[in-house]
Amino acid sequence: MKAIQFIKNRGVDAAKERLKVAKESGLDMWTYGWGFTTKQLEKALKGADIHTLKNLDLERAIVRRDKLRGRYNRSGLSNTDYNELLQLDKAIEQAIKGRAQ
């Protein structure tokens, strides 16, 4: 299985969790028998356009955006989470415009 296929099958959140576990253990994803390395998964997560309008689940995106926005308002976000928040805002806005037409 390739890293991008893993993301499509399991979802972005599961892929990020697997990546986190692999990094914490110090072992590579290949060692776990996933068929791809940790670097390949990182690259796929960065390169994957996870918020395309075709794949966007608007309800889940809004819930995730609201959760990130709440954390941002309370205590701030990491750069990664802030970038995700910006991408979600943009994708949701485009999806709403697309559905209105």
Q: What is the pTM of this model?
A: 0.47
- Residue 40 within any structural domain of the chain: yes
- Residue 52 within any structural domain of the chain: no
Tally the domains of the chain. 2
Q: What is the pLDDT of residue 91?
A: 83
Give the mean pLDDT of 54-58: 65
* Whole-number Å distance between alpha carbons of 22 and 20: 5
- Residue 77 within any structural domain of the chain: yes
**Which residues form the domain of 94?**
58-100
Question: Which of helix, strand or coil describes residue 98?
Answer: helix
- Residue 28 within any structural domain of the chain: yes
Q: pLDDT band for 55, please (50, 70, 90 cuts).
A: low
- Residue 53 within any structural domain of the chain: no
Same-domain status, 72 and 41: no
Mean of the per-residue pLDDT values of the chain: 79
Query: Is the pLDDT higher at 30 or at 52?
Result: 30
CA distances from 92 to 67, 74, 89 (A): 14, 22, 5
Q: What is the pLDDT of residue 40?
A: 85
